[in-house]
Amino acid sequence: MDRLVNTVRPYAWGSTTAIPELLGVEPSGEPQAELWMGAHPGAPSRTERGPLNALIDADPVGELGERSVAAFGPRLPFLLKVLAAGAPLSLQAHPDLAQARAGHAAEEAAGIPVDAPHRTYKDANHKPELICALTPFDGLCGFRAPAETADLIAGLGVDSLKPYVDLLHAHPEEAALREVMTALLTADPEEMAHTVTEAAAAADRLGGDYAPYATLAHHFPNDPGVIAAMLLNRVTLQPGEALYLGAGVPHAYLSGLGVEIMANSDNVLRCGLTPKHIDVPELLRVVRFEPADPAVLRPEASPSGEEVYDTPIDEFRLSRLVRPEGAAPTDLTTPTPQILLAVAGRPKAGEVTLAAGESVFVPAGEKTELTGTGTVFRATVVA
């Protein structure tokens, strides 16, 4: 197996302290948003044998196993991260596989450079993802019932928001949500900026349930995403709880530290809370305007003690192993590739001792035994 040397991405929304605290190092003072583990070409993990993506390219069957290559092609199908949100991320959604393939093909045919700021589809893959909290973790996920949102917005007492309140009382609910989102994203920028400023002042004055939206307005003044965020369910995960985010589900992470795993893709359609490009027609095609309570996942224990987060896709499978003092060795040998990430204690993967924040890549079929004390997240493939 290969000990991984991983890259920290310094996005502006990152916490300055959370990842350094996990790694046991001094903060640099700069934001540290995501610690990437995997073979994504944007920041591949490094090993003593070379970059992980180069190792896989040289021998995909040997590193990934026949099952994974047959199912997902000659690349690691998932990307594992530690995500540390010190400030809110953009409001966003991801396409399904058919939408990603069609969108990518269309932009390729149009000759839009992959690094162009108005490019939407960086690749031809979907991007389902799972976030598991390491600390209390705040986010927004999926549409709340429109009538509840109407009451929330009406409580701000902002006259220019009354048309949206009326729309949210209309039926069917899906059409009402679509119409409100469309109106918010296509409104006159000056008028919307004035509305957001009034709404932010009211949210700041009212506090309580409105406090998160005052915070959003502080980070993103005049952004219609502040109002769009009120359409979504507010969720707080406790450590060990998780959220699965499938195609078309609008979401945003607000604060906290978590382990995130996703299909290996960069395809993001932004809805607001960002200075970046928003492709409104494509966003409205991809988003699923279906109100639903967010399903908070708790791990299901297996006979071996491994706790599995059950999701409906095959590109990844995330589980957790909490090993007390004196626990018997756990055999993790599998015919698919895996990454093991320690978040507490000093567990051993084979002969490799892992401190918090350290990880290893285990090629498919390699004999792997987990010993020692601590908590380990295991990322692998369902194939």
pLDDT digit string, tens, across residues 15-68: 999 999 999 999 999 999 999 999 998 899 999 999 999 999 999 999 999 999
Is the pLDDT confidence value at 303 over 80? Answer: no
pLDDT at 194: 97
In the sheet where 307-309 sits, what is the strand order?
2-3, 359-362, 338-345, 374-380, 317-323, 307-309, 300-301
Q: Give residue-wise pLDDT tens across range 181-196.
A: 999 999 999 999 999 9
Largest CA distance in the chain: 65
Write the single-letter amino acid at 349: A
CB atoms within 10 A of CB 208: 8
Is the pLDDT confidence value at 304 over 80? Answer: no
CB atoms within 10 A of CB 205: 11
Task: Give the separation between CA 121 and CA 263, rounded to whole angstroms.
Answer: 14
Listed residue (356, 379, 295) closest to 134, CA to CA? 356
270 is catalytic: yes
Q: Mean of the per-residue pLDDT values for the chain?
A: 96
Q: Which of 67, 119, 144, 270 is catalytic?
A: 270
Q: Is the pTM of this model over 0.85?
A: yes
pLDDT at 31: 97
Average confidence (pLDDT) over 70-82: 96
Query: DSSP readout, 362-376?
Result: E-TT---EEESSEEE
CB atoms within 10 A of CB 133: 21
